[in-house]
Amino acid sequence: MANIKLFLVPVCIWTILFNTSNATRSRPPPKFPAILVFGDSTVDSGNNNDIDTLFKANFRPYGKSYPGHTPTGRFSNGRLIPDFLASALNIKKAVPPFLKPNFSDHELVTGVSFASSGSGYDDETNAVFQVISFPKQIDMFRNYTARLKSLVGERKAKRIIGGALVIISTGTNDISTFKMDTNDTRYQDFLLNKVQSFTKQLYDLGCRSMIVAGLPPIGCLPIQMTNKQQPPSRRRCLHNQNLYSKAYNQKLVNTLLQVQTKLSGSKIVYADIYRPLIHMIHHPRKYGFVETNKGCCGTGFVETGPLCNPTTPTCRKPSRFLFWDAVHPSQSTYWYLSKYLKKTALSKFL
């Protein structure tokens, strides 16, 4: 059954994204009191600003399209998926990082991000990059819970966490080119074991509604194409790496169904990032994109993090680029992805 549904999705992407008929519009969004976010740079709103790592984006030109052109630590020119979803759900306009010094009570009650750029499910990934591992992100969540309880009381805190939308988005940093090239599929199972363990830990801490993102088409990330030394005029997504992402995603769908069955009262939903991104890459003009195989920052082939800095020139119109830097999507891409997730993953909570 799950397979049939997946098969139908690509055909419908266009309709899902751009159908604005009343039938779709009149459905009210599901209600969540708060949003809690775990993962890597796809969802880190600035936790790395306050730790000792090279994986930072709290300087220009990051944040070029963010309100006030502010570099916040988000690895894009603007807002990320959790920000767009929090807006769509009428929770708030942006999800602050947990490590932000001194955030308000309102921010605490409506949720934060524990994510850390450069991190992954695998502890080795985090050790290499010196960022906040998933177990540490869960520790931070324990702290958060303690603070929330002391602010609103035990019962209300439980209700907020039980009702919160949890977003988990990570995995890409774990998977090295070597693993993809040698088709090391046992490593996928290792990661999926981590997915089971972390979702269970969050469940035990009171979370009930979770969205877990799959992998993007890794072979289409500009940096991956560059690593294969493709000449600029003939850059193409790397087929085998994309197959690897797809195989992982297929297994993740099954894993999440199993986890949901085991954890009674939970709703654990797969977020498909792969298909909408591939659709954008194959039909860029439908999305207003003119460039899909290099980033807007610098040459677009290699720049990310410290290489995309205040001295690096950028393209004039980031909204025309699918990628902001050589690894991370632009705000426009995140906006389209959010729109897609709203109509697919989020609608499963209705």
Ligand X SMILES: *[C@@H]1O[C@H](CO)[C@@H](O)[C@H](O)[C@H]1NC(C)=O
Question: Where along the sequence are the contacts to ligand X (CB under 6 A)?
Answer: 101-102, 140, 143, 183, 185, 240, 243
* Nearest distance from C-beta of residue 347 to ligand X, angstroms: 32
Nearer to ligand X (CB atom), residue 241 or residue 333 = 241
* Nearest distance from C-beta of residue 246 to ligand X, angstroms: 10
Asked about 328 being catalytic, the answer comes back as yes
* Per-residue exposure over 119-140, b if at least 16 CB sit within 10 Å of its own CB, e if not: bbbbeebbeebebbbbeebbeb
Residues 6+ apart with CB under 8 A from 263: 199, 200, 203
Query: Judging by DSSP bridges, how do beta strands 209-213 and 165-169 pair with one another?
Result: parallel
* Nearest distance from C-beta of residue 293 to ligand X, angstroms: 21
Q: Which is catalytic among the residues 174, 325, 330, 332? A: 325
Nearer to ligand X (CB atom), residue 145 or residue 266 = 145
Asked about 106 being catalytic, the answer comes back as no
Nearer to ligand X (CB atom), residue 243 or residue 281 = 243
Asked about 325 being catalytic, the answer comes back as yes
* Per-residue exposure over 223-251, b if at least 16 CB sit within 10 Å of its own CB, e if not: bbbbeeeeeeeebebbeebbebbbebbeb
Q: Which is catalytic among the residues 40, 41, 45, 117? A: 41
* Nearest distance from C-beta of residue 348 to ligand X, angstroms: 28
Name the residue with tokens 């046992």: 186
Nearer to ligand X (CB atom), residue 236 or residue 267 = 236
Are 160 and 148 in contact by the 8 Å Cβ rule? The answer is: yes
Q: Which is catalytic among the residues 116, 133, 272, 328? A: 328
Looking at the chain, how many residues does it have? 350
* Nearest distance from C-beta of residue 189 to ligand X, angstroms: 11
Nearer to ligand X (CB atom), residue 116 or residue 344 = 116
Residues identified as active-site: 41, 325, 328
